[in-house]
């Protein structure tokens, strides 16, 4: 039942066709266009760019009388398209049809090419009937330019004392965008549109803040749980909309965070934890398309098990469904974890854990790759790439926070994970190492960092970080797509936050494949530009920067913390140094003086910049001793 659409290729990147066909504005025009096609009678479909199948996946064409399908590329001849065997377009003139549907955007040119072949009296229609307004296009001459659909979805809720806050910056101006704006569409749980609006982003790299309380007040809305569709109009450089998502409330214990949704729906996701004692885990399934998700379109299976438990009810176009994992797989319990059978129906989803004490936390699953195979060269390149692929995560001060790590298979080919875990204090000194052996796909082994620290004398610096790496001492394979869930629990309050990410090669000038990854060009990525959103008072902002290195690199970082006000004007900067393989844990109120923070004002943000090394960062908010949030940072 999976959608047969192309969304993302690790060779070609993101696909723009499904995004532009499924845009809410295109979806709004589709019913009238489909009725026009139906009323036309017998149709010939001309499919010059193989776009008809994607259109048919997203919209119901069953009412159309499709008589024949014609193609341009001879390699496409004889294939089944829309229930017909494709013919050469040179045969179009003989077709007994009332209309020709050209299944393409920018159709003027292909229509000119076949004008002499169109049967006499036949009407010619095309997908251009679904085009977005020209003032929403970065490149009006090439409609399927990815920059025309710099879009993403966000979980968005304002109900029962729970609110949402999206924060990012107008980073497109840094890539040359002129007067970009943000077009937004809010859907409720049933997929109905609650509001549409547009906001100017200005010429500078100012902050972007969308608060559910303000949206609800602005449009006079009642309580809602749904998703917010975001389209950056006039984007440059990046067709990806990145953001931090905070969930907060009137109760001081309501606080959590996650981040952007990854704009390309995938077949599979993984890293969804089963509930622990007294917990309930909800997967927020949010349909990213204008077509419904059918019954048995979404399912869960325990990692390593072939038994899939399917959701037996549909989800409306752009609708939201709270899937309680225990209703599908009641026997699962932490540290079990699930694969999500997603069928390309939704972007990377959030899950929410409801604890027995009434607290809750939000996080996201990750894309499970279907195109990877074990790469024997990773084990052979140790002398050149040192630790090679590594996954860093903080060890927050152990006297307050307990830390757990759960490795998560994140590719269908990963039948086992050959791993080791290393702990470092803030100075970069390794304090502990533990081989984890060759974990089978079905194994779910959560490691308590307390035990490793107790066995090795703790952290003299008071905090540090961990690195999950491959360990080939007992054989095994690797593919570089190494992931884990990191869970942190406040020992006093019981509040929990969790985050997950994947491994990279860090800080070596040698390259392998796409590593060390670079946001701004070809590898190696040896510099840092991380975004840090700042919490609104009384919340305190926490930041943990890690300087991981696969091979020896500079002894210390040369890191600048650059503070900007909401308009994008620089207010202040601080220079800090982080030791190689070390880390730096700091708070906004301690790093910048009170008068500087006052000048920065509300909705300020911070950029972590380093031109000498690649850092990895985590951010969080503290509400005194009552609650905290924590997640990894993003760069652009």
DSSP string, 389-434: EEEEEEE--TTTEEEEEEEE--BTT-SEEEEEEEEEETTS-EEEEE
For residue 49, give both structure tokens. Answer: 């760019």
* DSSP summary character for residue 607: E
CB neighbour burial string for 318-354, b if at least 16 within 10 angstroms, e if fewer: bbbbebebbebbeebebbbbbbbbbbbbbbbbbbbbb
Q: Of the candidates 319, 342, 364, which is a domain's last residue?
A: 364
Contact 466, 393 (CB under 8 A): yes
Q: Using 50, 70 and 90 to split pLDDT, how confident is the model at 537?
A: confident
Domain annotation covers residue 622:
yes
- pLDDT, tens only, 549-576: 999 999 999 999 999 999 999 999 999 9
**Residue 377 burial (C-beta neighbours within 10 Å; 0-12, 13-18, 19+):** exposed
Which run of H or E residues covers position 129? none
Do 508 and 605 belong to one domain? yes
Burial (CB < 10 A; 0-12, 13-18, 19+), residue 564, is buried
In the block, residue with structure tokens 């001309």? 46
The pLDDT of residue 122: 97
Residues 304 and 385 in one domain: no
Position 2 in a domain = no
- Reference 631, options 252, 335, 363, 241; nearest CA is 363
d(CA 576, CA 562): 11
The per-residue pLDDT for range 420-443, each reduced to its tens digit, is 999 999 999 999 999 999 999 999
Both 85 and 24 in a single domain?
A: yes
Do residue 565 and residue 420 come from a single domain? yes
Q: Is residue 140 part of a domain?
A: no
Mean pLDDT of the chain: 96
For residue 218 the two structure tokens come to: 């602005």
The domain tally of the chain equals 3
- Other CB atoms within 10 Å distance of the CB of residue 63: 10
* Residues 173 and 53 reside in one and the same domain: no
Residue 204 has pLDDT above 90, yes or no: no
Do 536 and 214 meet the contact criterion of CB atoms below 8 Å apart? no
pLDDT in the model for residue 6 = 93
User: Would you state the pLDDT for residue 519?
Assistant: 75
Is the pLDDT at 375 greater than 90? The verdict is yes
State pLDDT tens for residues 217-242.
999 999 999 999 999 999 998 898 99
The CATH number of the domain holding residue 512 is: 2.60.290.11
User: Does residue 370 lie in a domain region?
Assistant: no
Q: Are residues 306 and 338 in the same domain?
A: yes
DSSP 8-state class, residue 576? E
Tokens of 538: 């009384």
* pLDDT of 579 strictly over 90: yes
Q: Mean pLDDT over residues 368-374, rounded? A: 95
Q: Is residue 371 part of a domain?
A: no
pLDDT of amino acid 164: 97
- 193 shares its domain with 323: yes
Give me the mean pLDDT over the 165-181 stretch. Answer: 93
Question: Which CATH number goes with the domain that contains 117?
Answer: 3.40.50.720
pTM: 0.96
Pairing of strands 337-341, 268-273: antiparallel
Residues 229 and 344 in one domain: yes
Please give the pLDDT value at position 202: 79
Is 252 a member of any domain? Answer: yes
Does residue 612 contact residue 524 with C-beta atoms inside 8 Å? no
CA distances from 463 to 265, 421, 449, 490 (A): 37, 16, 12, 14
For tokens 């700042």, the residue is 534
In tens, the pLDDT along 477-505 reads: 999 999 999 999 999 999 999 999 999 99
Q: Is 262 left (phi over 0), alpha (psi -120 to 50) or beta?
A: left
DSSP annotation of 163 reads: E
Share of the chain above pLDDT 70, in %: 100
Q: Over the range 387-403, which residues count as b (16 or more CB within 10 Å of their CB) and which as e?
A: bbbbbbbbbbebeebeb
Nearest alpha-carbon partner for 472 in 482, 464, 462, 458: 482
CA 67 to chain centre: 41
Q: Are residues 417 and 540 in the same domain?
A: yes
pLDDT confidence of residue 523:
95
pLDDT of residue 160: 87
Count of residues for the chain? 636
Residues 183 and 311 in one domain: yes
Residue 496 host element (H or E) = strand 496-502
Confidence category of residue 602, pLDDT binned at 50, 70, 90: very high
- Is position 369 within any domain? no
**3-class DSSP state of 95:** coil
Task: Note whether 478 and 414 are within 8 A (CB).
Answer: no
pLDDT tops 70 at residue 7:
yes
Q: How are beta strands 447-448 and 496-502 bridged, if at all?
A: unpaired
Distance separating alpha carbons of residues 433 and 452, to the nearest angstrom: 8
- The predicted pLDDT at position 238 comes to 87
Task: Examine the fold and report which residue of 104, 134, 164 is the final residue of a domain before the chain moves on.
Answer: 134
Burial per residue of 522-545, b for 16 or more beta-carbon CB atoms within 10 angstroms, e otherwise: ebbbbbbbbbbbbbbeebbbbbbb
pLDDT for the residue 636: 83
User: Are the C-beta atoms of residues 620 and 628 closer than 8 Å to each other?
Assistant: yes
Statement to judge: residues 308 and 440 lie in one domain = no
The residue among 323, 322, 321, 326 whose CA lies nearest residue 276 is 326
57 belongs to a structural domain? yes
Chain segment 89-125, per-residue pLDDT in tens: 999 999 999 999 999 999 999 999 999 999 999 999 9
Q: What mean pLDDT comes out for the span 162-178?
A: 94
Predicted local confidence at residue 118, as pLDDT: 97
Task: Average the pLDDT over 295-314 and give the result.
Answer: 97
Please report the pLDDT score of residue 96 as a whole number. Answer: 96
Contact 469, 390 (CB under 8 A): yes
**Cβ–Cβ contacts within 10 Å for residue 245, how many?**
25
pLDDT band at 172 (very low <50, low <70, confident <90, very high): very high
pLDDT at position 415: 96
The set of residues, in sequence order, having a beta carbon less than 8 Å from that of 598 and lying 6+ positions away, is none
Domain boundary, last residue among 364, 390, 416: 364
Verify that 308 and 237 share a domain, yes or no.
Answer: yes
| Distance in angstroms (rounded) separating the CA atoms of residues 238 and 217 | 31
- Domain containing 58: what range? 8-134
CA distance 273 to 467: 21
For residue 11, the model assigns a pLDDT of 66
Q: Please tell me the predicted confidence (pLDDT) of residue 536.
A: 87
């Amino acid at each position: 039942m999976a959608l047969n659409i192309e969304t993302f290729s690790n060779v070609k990147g993101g696909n723009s066709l499904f995004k532009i066909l499924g845009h809410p504005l295109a979806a709004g025009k589709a019913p009238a266009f489909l009725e026009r096609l139906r009323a036309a009678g017998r149709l010939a479909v001309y499919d010059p760019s193989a776009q008809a199948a994607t259109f048919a996946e997203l919209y119901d064409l069953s009412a159309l009388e499709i008589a024949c399908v014609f193609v341009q590329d001879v390699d496409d001849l004889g294939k089944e398209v829309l229930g017909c065997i494709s013919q050469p377009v040179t045969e179009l003139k003989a077709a007994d049809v009332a209309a020709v549907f050209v299944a393409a955007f920018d159709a003027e040119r292909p229509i000119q090419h076949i004008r002499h072949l169109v049967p006499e009296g036949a009407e010619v229609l095309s997908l251009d009937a679904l085009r977005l307004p020209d003032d929403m296009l970065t490149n009006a001459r090439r409609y399927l330019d990815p920059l025309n659909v710099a879009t993403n979805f966000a979980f968005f809720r304002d109900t029962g004392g729970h609110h949402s806050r999206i924060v990012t910056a107008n980073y497109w101006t840094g890539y040359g965008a002129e007067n970009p704006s943000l077009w937004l569409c809010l859907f409720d749980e049933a997929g109905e549109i609650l509001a549409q609006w547009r906001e100017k982003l200005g010429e500078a790299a100012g902050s972007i803040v969308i608060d559910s309380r303000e949206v609800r007040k602005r449009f006079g809305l009642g309580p809602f749980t749904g998703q917010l569709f975001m389209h950056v109009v006039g984007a440059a450089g990046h067709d990806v909309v990145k953001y931090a998502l905070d969930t907060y409330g009137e109760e001081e214990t309501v606080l959590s965070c996650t981040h952007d949704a990854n704009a390309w729906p995938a077949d599979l996701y993984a890293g969804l934890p089963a509930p622990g004692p007294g917990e309930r885990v909800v997967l927020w399934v949010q349909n990213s398309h204008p077509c419904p998700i059918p019954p048995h379109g979404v399912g869960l299976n325990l990692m390593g098990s072939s038994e899939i438990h399917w959701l037996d009810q549909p989800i409306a176009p752009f609708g939201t469904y709270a899937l309680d994992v225990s209703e599908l797989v009641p026997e699962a319990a932490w540290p079990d974890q699930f694969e999500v059978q997603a069928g390309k129906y939704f972007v990377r989803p959030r899950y929410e854990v409801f604890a027995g004490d009434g607290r809750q936390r939000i996080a996201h699953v990750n894309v499970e790759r279907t195109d990877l195979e074990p790469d024997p060269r990773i084990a052979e390149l140790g002398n050149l790439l040192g630790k090679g692929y590594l996954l860093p995560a903080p060890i927050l001060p152990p006297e307050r926070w307990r830390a757990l790590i759960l490795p998560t298979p994140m590719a269908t080919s990963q039948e086992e994970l050959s791993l080791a875990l290393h702990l470092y204090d803030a100075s970069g000194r390794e304090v502990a190492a533990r081989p984890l052996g060759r974990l089978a796909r079905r194994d779910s082994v959560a490691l308590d960092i307390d035990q490793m620290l107790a066995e090795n004398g703790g952290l003299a610096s008071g905090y540090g970080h961990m690195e999950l790496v491959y360990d080939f001492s007992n054989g095994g394979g690797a593919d570089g797509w190494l992931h884990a869930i990191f869970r942190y629990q406040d020992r006093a309050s019981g509040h929990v936050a969790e985050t997950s990410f994947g491994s990279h090669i860090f800080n070596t000038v040698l390259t392998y494949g796409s590593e060390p990854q670079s946001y701004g060009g070809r590898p190696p990525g040896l510099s840092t530009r991380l975004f840090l959103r700042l919490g609104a008072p009384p919340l305190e902002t926490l930041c943990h920067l890690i300087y991981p290195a696969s091979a020896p690199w500079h002894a210390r970082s040369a890191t600048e913390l650059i503070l900007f006000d909401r308009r994008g004007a620089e207010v202040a900067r601080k220079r800090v140094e982080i030791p190689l393989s070390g880390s730096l844990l700091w708070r906004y109120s301690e790093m910048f003086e009170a008068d500087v923070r006052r000048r920065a004002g509300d909705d300020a943000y911070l950029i972590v910049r380093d031109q000498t090394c690649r850092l990895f960062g985590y951010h969080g908010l503290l509400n005194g001793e009552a609650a905290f949030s924590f997640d990894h940072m993003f760069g652009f």
